[in-house]
Amino acid sequence: MKNFFKSVLIKTLKTITSFFLILIFSFIIIAIISPKEKKEIKEKSILYLKLDQKIQDQNKEEDFNFSLNSLNTKNNSLECILKSIEKAKTDEKITGIFLEPSIINAGIASSTEIRNKLNEFKKETNKFIISYSEVYSQKAYYIASVSNSVYMHPEGVLDIRGLASNALFFTESLERLGVQPEIIRHGKFKSAIEPFTRTNMSQENREQTKSYMNDLWNDYLQEVSTSRNLNKKIFNKQVENYKIEENKAMFIDSSIYKDQLIDILKQKSDNDKLNLITIPEYYEYATKEEKHSINKIAVLYASGDIVGGEGNDKIGSEQYSKIIREIRKNKNIKALVLRINSPGGSALASETILREVILTKKEKPVIVSMGDVAASGGYYIACYADTIVCNPTTITGSIGVFGLMFNIKNMLNNKLGIYTDTVKTGEYADMMSMLRPMSNQEKNIVQNQIEKVYKTFTNHVAKGRNLDLVYVDEIAQGRVWSGEMAKKIGLIDVLGGLEEAINIASNMADLKEYKIISYPKKKNSIEQIVNLIETKQNDIKYLNYEKVFYDLQKKDKIQARLPYNIFIN
């Protein structure tokens, strides 16, 4: 009898659990298929930019977006922000823009595009831009400085220190583990291997890092000084001596509390009630009345590492080749804008994508717009474009190639007591195996492959950019350049952002009216759920450098990639 009741209880609990799971899943499905309620834009509204979410290039807002932090978050993309500000310029319901920046989750070049668009808004309209924050980080103040009025909490912090770039070196750690990196490269500046062979930066690496960081910092000083009517040299001196807090009055118009700010916003909008509308809310309204035209310009967003295959959330050669072919064959698409935000990756995958770019260029204009980073493989797929556009603060170049392998024989034998033995049909059957060191003959074979890829890369650049091959080799060698320097040496054509690239594309295609369509296309609800299940099984948070190390093990052995992942604070 006891077992009977126990069995009934277990079955009852299972039934109740299943019921609740089905109920929860039903709610999720209903949320997916139900039409989203659009917020009404009231008269005398203020466009509200907080910029605290990660700002990606493409608007990838999905019906089903589950992360460790939220169940249904809206994407605050660069595409959304730029289009919303553009619409707000002529929208009579929008009286101005309220910025509340603190920590900007975007790269320097993306921040530059947002800042430039805000500056355009200020110059072309009689509407206001007001900024307020308790803490202004360096990038936050860079964007906020374009405002008509910059306010801060009375006890707030203005944190401007200059730029710093840090690199980690794993050489001694690998030695202690018994792991031997085996690296082959071409290019004296191709320092991707340094974290595994040195304990500090080489002179060449330090030289290139200092060069492009100085370019970025000079741009920061110039833009902020112009907007705030400051002396650039005095501004820089105060930053170097960390005297910004002591001279806060030069950078902040007034220190006020939030309630005082609200009163100012009400007064500016001539409204007794504060009507704020966020970028995701306004974007839906801003795009619903877009012009319909048979003529289209395709904007293909290429973000992340360049890899073989489909790539999922990366730039997969199979996926992107297919998309570019589709764009080329579509007669209604009159031009392609390739927006690149990538440190590079597989040299083979880059070559595959470039082939489709070259074929498309023969049939319609191809314009490249570079984001925060478009280097190495990212530059590889760009070099044949009719026009290359980038911001002065874009990181580009890094025309070089390297091969990276790891020998774990010592770790297995001496650290873990594990031994291996091999049977093979030929001398090179287990070449590049992690279980033994490479022979000199094998290193020569890989070096020849590296040289071949480098030669192909530089030939593409010379032909695509109409430059002398000897000159290309001089500015290549794996060296990283700022967008500003890249223009001076001929690697890019025009300084500007995504909108500038689209304007160039429309002019080259001789279009007066056109519709912009974005690629890759948004997944449907079922695809989103399947992708969610596949990706979230491995939803592990890596430290930035851990992820670099982890990814390198899975990639093609020959890489056209930035020397390192660049994180500038």
Cα distances (angstroms) measured from residue 8 to each of 19, 169, 235 = 16, 61, 77
Give the pLDDT confidence score for residue 64 in this predicted structure: 46
Give the pLDDT confidence score for residue 283 in this predicted structure: 87
pLDDT, tens digit, for every residue of 213-240? 999 999 999 999 999 999 999 999 999 9
Kindly tell me if the per-residue pLDDT of 387 is higher than 90: yes
Let me know if 139 is a catalytic residue: no
Supply the CATH classification number for the domain 296-403+431-535+555-561: 3.90.226.10
Question: What is the b/e burial string over 11-20, where b = at least 16 CB atoms within 10 angstroms of the residue's CB?
Answer: eeeeeeeeee
Residue 401 · residue 145 · CB < 8 Å: no
pLDDT, tens digit, for every residue of 176-201? 999 999 888 886 766 778 888 899 99
- Report the percentage of the chain scoring pLDDT > 70: 81
Q: Which of 84, 145, 376, 506 is catalytic?
A: 376
Q: Which of 74, 122, 127, 190 is catalytic?
A: 190
Let me know if 376 is a catalytic residue: yes
Domain 45-160+251-287 belongs to what architecture? Alpha-Beta Complex (3.90)
Q: Give the pLDDT mean for 413-426.
A: 91
| Residue whose entry in the numeric block shows the structure tokens 């026009």 | 387
Q: Give the pLDDT mean for 346-360.
A: 96
Nearest CA among 207, 241, 199, 51 for reference residue 137: 51
Residue 388 · residue 492 · CB < 8 Å: yes
Q: Give the pLDDT mean for 400-418.
A: 89
- Report the percentage of the chain scoring pLDDT > 90: 62
Give the pLDDT confidence score for residue 550 in this predicted structure: 47
Domains 45-160+251-287 and 296-403+431-535+555-561 share a fold: yes
Q: Report which residue type is found at 411.
A: M
Give the pLDDT confidence score for residue 67 in this predicted structure: 44
**Those residues with Cβ within 8 angstroms of residue 262's Cβ, 6 or more apart along the chain or in another chain:** 274
Spatial separation of the C-alpha atoms in residues 141 and 253, rounded to whole Å: 13
pLDDT, tens digit, for every residue of 39-67? 678 899 999 998 888 888 887 655 444 44
Spatial separation of the C-alpha atoms in residues 501 and 367, rounded to whole Å: 6
Spatial separation of the C-alpha atoms in residues 382 and 368, rounded to whole Å: 6
Q: Which residue has the higher pLDDT, 15 or 550?
A: 15
Kindly tell me if the per-residue pLDDT of 536 is higher than 50: no
Instruction: Give the domain ranges of the chain.
Output: 45-160+251-287, 296-403+431-535+555-561
Give the predicted TM-score (pTM) of the model. 0.84
pLDDT, tens digit, for every residue of 244-279? 888 888 999 999 999 999 999 999 999 999 999 999
Residue 47 · residue 88 · CB < 8 Å: yes
**Mean pLDDT, the chain, integer:** 85
Give the pLDDT confidence score for residue 377 in this predicted structure: 94
Q: Give the pLDDT mean for 1-9.
A: 56
